[in-house]
Amino acid sequence: MATISVLGILLVQFFFLKKSVDLNEKQFHELTTNALRSVASQINEYNSKIRGHTAKPADVCPVDQISNNYYVVNVNDVIDPNILEHLLAVEFKKRNLNLPFEYGIYDCDSKKMVQGNISKAESQKANKKSVKSHDTLSCSQEEMLYDKHSGKTNKKTSVCNLPTCEKYTYYFGVHFPDRSQFYNSRLIAWYLMTGILFFVVIFFGYALYIIIKQKQLSEIQKNFINNLTHEFKTPIASIELASKVLSNPKIIEQPERLSEYVKIIAQQNRRLSAQVEKLLQMATIEKTKLQLKLEQIELNSFITEAIAEFKNSQNGNAYSINLVSNVSNAGITADKLHFSNLIFNILDNSIKYCSVVPDIIIRLEEIKDRYFISFNDNGIGIPKDYRKKIFNRFYRVPTGNVHDVKGFGLGLDYVKKNVGIHGWQIKVIENPRKGSTFIVEIHKSIK
């Protein structure tokens, strides 16, 4: 509801802002058209008085808008650039159109737009003189000024880049390079309100993001507590049951049974210790950065030893792990402890998430300057939507309320941090056996 409300306010704000812009656009066009029509009318009146031409009413001088900032005015008579510049400045000022502009007059000879090339001060003097005696303009619209010292006539026009209009012969054009001054003075309040609204929306979006993030963290915490409860519940119950049996004085008469329950307590105690150690390990990683003790490692022998050590820790569980290598003398630089833990975590993950007898194939390949270690299993697989999330801390693929697979969701988070601090990459894909394939990309050692 809050999101819909904010979007509604934004739409209303943009609607009124657009209306205001359109209104100012209309006002600008009307003011400009009226000013240019008045200028054309005054030029005709001037030509009527000075040259004896017939004056034309303002509505006979059409104003065409060629583009949003360029207007063409048909005068159908000769145009004095000095008079034109003076009248344009006066009429624009009268209507508060205090904008920079450039004007051009069509030259019949060159068929281009030309403009008076005189300064503001000279323009005012020229305007006073032209009212009394200026009658030298022809169709070429070139102002001819007489120089008393040289006895020569100088042209005071220059070609400009304004576009021409084929509809008319005697006309002038006015171009406004920057109309933002006109709009800024009238829309500053709207811009301010829009800016404030955007700030509020950004703040609202950030607050909504924090709320969603907190909700996700709450779900992760809830799942972690549930997993922690199930992880500790089984060994605690087993130890409690074994201790009750051992508390019976008659258990001494059954040495085999006594030995069995002692082993149960020892196994469950190791299991609890391993889980606590994993939690402490992740807490340490969180507080301090992993410290690597880099050594030269040959991948074939190291992976083979890691597989053998992993098998010894599995208490005789049925599974198959095989190394297939197409590389000899694959030397890298890595931390032996963390690298072996990386392999252990991936293998442990492959075995836990398998509904049949686990069969894991580890492949070692060399491509250019990199080694690729792929762990291919026949497990239940990981849906595509969860493959990026499984490396997040405490994250486990949702299984509802079923907790048939033990764990805290910390193993792959450790793997990701381990790979990152070594400067390697890891990704997970699906394999033809419907299981998962973890691929570790390792840079070769620099010799």
Judged by phi (left if over 0) then psi (alpha if -120 to 50, else beta), residue 141 lies in left
Instruction: Say yes or no to pLDDT of 271 above 80.
Output: no
Signed CA dihedral, 379, 384, 388, 389: sign only:
negative
Tokens representing residue 353 in the block: 């998430």
Cα 69–Cα 72–Cα 75 angle in degrees, nearest 5: 150
Instruction: Say yes or no to pLDDT of 343 above 60.
Output: yes
Q: Tell me the percentage of the chain whose pLDDT exceeds 90.
A: 9
Q: How many CA within 13 A on the CB side of residue 75?
A: 27
Instruction: Say yes or no to pLDDT of 285 above 70.
Output: no
pLDDT score for 55? 54
Task: Indicate the range of 4-18, 79-93, 427-441 predicted with least confidence.
Answer: 4-18
Question: pLDDT per residue over 99-117, tens digit each?
Answer: 888 888 888 777 888 874 3
- Who has greater pLDDT, 116 or 3? 3
Instruction: Say yes or no to pLDDT of 322 above 60.
Output: yes
Model-wide pTM > 0.85: no
pLDDT score for 376? 92
Q: Tell me the percentage of the chain whose pLDDT exceeds 70.
A: 75
pLDDT score for 61? 67
Q: Using CA atoms, how far apart are residues 72 and 265, in angstroms rounded to an integer? A: 99
**Distance spanning both ends of the chain, measured CA to CA:** 62
The pair phi, psi for residue 383, each rounded to 5°, is -55, 150
Q: How many CA within 13 A on the CB side of residue 96?
A: 7
Residues 6+ apart with CB under 8 A from 73: 36, 37, 39, 40, 61, 62, 63, 64, 171, 172, 173, 174
Question: pLDDT per residue over 103-161, tens digit each?
Answer: 888 887 778 888 743 333 333 443 444 333 333 333 333 333 333 333 443 444 455 67
pLDDT class of 49 with cuts at 50, 70, 90: confident
Question: pLDDT per residue over 207-237, tens digit each?
Answer: 888 988 888 778 767 766 766 676 677 778 8
Q: Which domains are present in the chain?
A: 2-178 (no CATH), 202-287 (1.10.287.130), 294-443 (3.30.565.10)
- Who has greater pLDDT, 383 or 35? 35
Tokens representing residue 369 in the block: 């300057």
Instruction: Say yes or no to pLDDT of 20 above 70.
Output: yes
pLDDT class of 302 with cuts at 50, 70, 90: very high
Of these ranges, 192-196, 198-202, 365-369, the one predicted with the greatest mean pLDDT is 365-369
